[in-house]
Structure 1
Amino acid sequence: MEFLEPLLLWGGLAVVIPVGIHFWHQKRGKVIGWAATQWLTEKNQQQHRGLRLENLPLLILRCLLVLLLALLLSQPMLTWLNAKPAGQKIHLVLPNPFLVDNFRFELDDALRKGEKVYWIVPTTEPTTALTQLPAQQPANPLLVQASINQLREQGTLKQNDTLYLYLVNNAQYRDIPYIHVPAHFLVHAVIDSGSRPVQRYLVASDNGNVFVNAAGQLTNSPTMPSRLRFSTQPVHTGPIAVLLDYRNKAEQQTVAAALQALADVYKIDLTINLNRIPDKPYQWVLTDRLITTPVPQTLYVVSGGNQAPILPTPNIRYIDETLTPQTTELVANGQLPEWLGELLVTQFGLQPATTPLSRVQWNDLFIRSDSSLKGSETTEANTTEQSYLVLLFVMVLGIERWLALRTNA
């Protein structure tokens, strides 16, 4: 049994109150002899020493009322009534050699016990041996969710089962908010140390390298840190062509100044055009006009409150405000160059895509999909138990009142 308000159980100590009142009312006054005293038998004239318990059933009922009231206020939950029988153990494994080798003991033990083991593949295949792995699948979180859904739809995975997930931890899981598991689960995750993330970089105008360092900051350095593994070729060399196509000249001057500040800090060679040059490819277009035919390789930043389409285009970023000090805090607080730097990192993919999640992020990623259902069932069961306790309290109170009136106590 569990209690929602266990501290209120201390109210049960108030049971001493009816006991004290009971003995107080039993106190006798001074004995005064009267004429008919001689007719009393010697037995009734004997003095009784110590405390005597009179109307014992009434005293028990009153103590029981106090205990029931304390129990009601503590809101008990009889969890053993709602307990379900233990289900089976199911293991869902990503067919990654490093992952399988790392948890081979656990998986071999599961197969010996006859527990079900499935591969995370498009068809969610069962297996009885770990000697031959299916074709390795990329660590795609959508594939993990699809495999879980398949087990549930097939009736293999039930609410009282326990699902053991074996996954490789990387940043692809950042792309989704949650992975829903309709059962009890335990996640085993490893970071494949044999494949360090590949870091992309740009070549700056001073021949330095522009990349995101281990602290997650954009930096320019002539040397590459040895603890990071960089790509063999820079993602871009030479000037970055930028087009500022604004009808609002104040906004155009503000954005141009922010781009210049970004170029000065990181020595990035930005070629800024205020008018479009025909047939010239642009890596970056910042405008307050609606984009109708975007070029896939170009990043567009559209400001001024242009309505974003229902199906957004990945390479178009919309911002509601006009980029001037009077219209947005982003400019007024001097954060526009930093924001443009984040867009630069996104445009050229400078942020490592395979950075693993932290322990807290990894634990928060998986949730029970039936949590709301379980909560409602628990609330309903708790309400039923409270109703029974209230009914018992009323019945005991009625019996106590009837007995008290009958005995005039």
Structure 2
Amino acid sequence: MLAVAVPIALHFWHQQQAKPMPWAMLRWLETPNQPPKRGFRFDNLWLLLLRCLLLMVLALLLARPELPQADTAKKGALHLVEPNRQVVDAFKFELEQARQRGEQLVWATDTPTPVDELGTLPTTGQPADALNPLTVQAAVAQVGSPQNRLHLYLRNTTSWTDAPPINVPPGFVLHALPVRAAAATSDRVVALAGGRFLGTDRNGRLTTLTQKTPGQRVVATAPLPVLVQFRQPDERRTVRAALAALTSAYGLTFLIDEQTVANKTYRWVLTEQPVRQPNPATAYLTTAPLTQANDPAVTYLTRPLTTANPLVANGQLPEQLGNALARSLGLAAAPAPLSQRAFSSLFVPTPTLSTKATMAASLAAHPRNPLQTGLLVLFLSLLLVERWWALRRGI
């Protein structure tokens, strides 16, 4: 609104630009008794006021003022909580404050249930570490909506190391509790050519060993029979290149088939098809949607292995495949949890695909504002009047 001083300053500045023009006969037209005009004069006062009002309305329009609304019209919040004592104790203050505000609290289970008492965890019949990406995705899909801001309370455990992206509604808030895993080494290795072995270090990363300890046992021998089933040629080439990178880095060789051979057992299957009935002796990696819960033999990458996939574009696919194979073969006993940044990046805000839901989400994020609409109409009206008046007066 301080810009209102600009047209006033311009008004007076134009007055000072007038220069006297000497004219021989001008002295005969002057009235000796007429007092000289001194100081600033307000010429075209109404036009000046109109322009000042125009700037003031524009300032109010850009400020987006709102009329007071009832609490029921405000966007609420929904808190989805992992049923774990560590999570409840770590975020007890936030959850109690949400309860006092009258916001919804829901347990993140296969069938989300309201939180009746924070001190009593729901009985799911599953172990404490049974929460998996499929359960979280299903719970978010059931309770998440554009009208409510979703808050997720989860532990950052090793179960999320190779988890696929989780689709969440826009505007969600993640409350992550980091859980450190005890360092451990695996007693399983893969026999390589030349008397070497493939295992993992104490951080769960693949490494080549010159010899195995007496307590380690061989679970597979290279070359590993691998089945690569992708319809798109570029995906097949991408997977083959990633396997070649593993061979170059660790000496792990593969026997690759692109068509299923009868009566042949594959140690590793990379496919785009859902894994309905996994073979216990085979490790699987699929780009199909999640279908099997709590199956460590199946790794899900829910995005096609094209250049649009960040894993392919950033050159991280070989590392991802190596980690998936190590986990499936039991080479990594305790993989390191993700960093907080990597854990947060798993949750991808995805807008709703349906037109009706998209309009509802847009309206929830930017509700109708009658005051804003009125100011816009007033601004356009004043602008038209100002232009008409200025053209009429030739200013």
TM over 0.5: yes
- Pairs within 5 Å for 1:110-129: 110-111=98-99, 115-129=103-117
Unaligned ranges ≥5, structure 2: 228-239, 277-282, 288-317, 353-357
| Counterpart among 43, 46, 51 of residue 57 in structure 1 | 46
1:137-148 equivalences in 2 (<5 Å):
138-148=130-140
Tell me, what secondary structure is at the counterpart of 1:291? coil
Confirm or deny: 8 A CA contact 2:185 2:201 kept in the other structure: no
Could you say if the C-alpha distance between residues 21 and 36 of structure 1 is closer, same or farther in structure 2, counting changes exceeding 3 Å? Answer: closer
- Aligned counterparts of 1:400 and 1:92: Cα–Cα separation in 2: 60
Tell me the TM-score normalised to structure 2 length.
Answer: 0.58
Q: Which of the numbers 277, 281, 285 marks the counterpart of 2:255? A: 285
1:117-142: per-residue Cα shift (whole Å, max 9, x none)?
Answer: 32111221223223332234622122
2:208 aligned residue: 219
Residues 340/58 of structure 1: CA separation in 2 closer, same or farther (3 Å cut)? closer
Go from structure 1 to structure 2 and tell me whether the alpha carbon gap of 1:285 and 1:82 turns closer, same or farther (over 3 Å shift).
farther
Are residues 1:191 and 2:164 paired? no
CA contact (8 A) 1:197 1:353 kept: yes
Q: Which of 13, 23, 28 lines up with 1:34 in the alignment? A: 28
How many corresponding residue pairs?
323
Aligned partners of 1:49, 1:143: CA distance in 2, in Å?
A: 83
Q: How does 1:14-33 map to 2 (within 5 A)?
A: 16-25=9-18, 32-33=26-27
Please state how far the C-alpha of 1:188 moved relative to its aligned partner. 1.7
Change (3 A) 1:394 1:95: same
Displacement, 1:317? Answer: 8.9
SS at match of 1:285: strand
Match of 1:398 among 359, 372, 388: 388
Secondary structure, aligned partner of 2:66: helix
User: Which has the greater radius of gyration?
Assistant: 1
Superposition deviation, residue 202 in structure 1: 0.7
In 2, Cα distance between equivalents of 1:141 and 1:209: 29
- 1:100 — aligned with what? 88
> Corresponding residue for 1:227?
none
Flag structure 1 segments of 5+ consecutive residues without an equivalent: 2-8, 225-231, 246-254, 271-283, 302-307, 319-336
- 1:178-206 deviation per Cα after TM superposition (whole angstroms, max 9, x unaligned): 33136x54322113336667757415465
1:228-243 → structure 2 map (5 Å cutoff): 234=217, 236=219, 239-240=221-222, 242=224
Q: Secondary structure at the match of 2:79?
A: strand
Aligned with 2:219: secondary structure? coil
Paired letter, 2:114: P
Q: C-alpha separation between the residues in 1 aligned to 2:265 and 2:48?
A: 86
Percent of matched pairs sharing the same residue: 24
1:61-117: CA deviations, max 9, x gaps? 45666x489x59x99362636988434443321112322233334445555665433
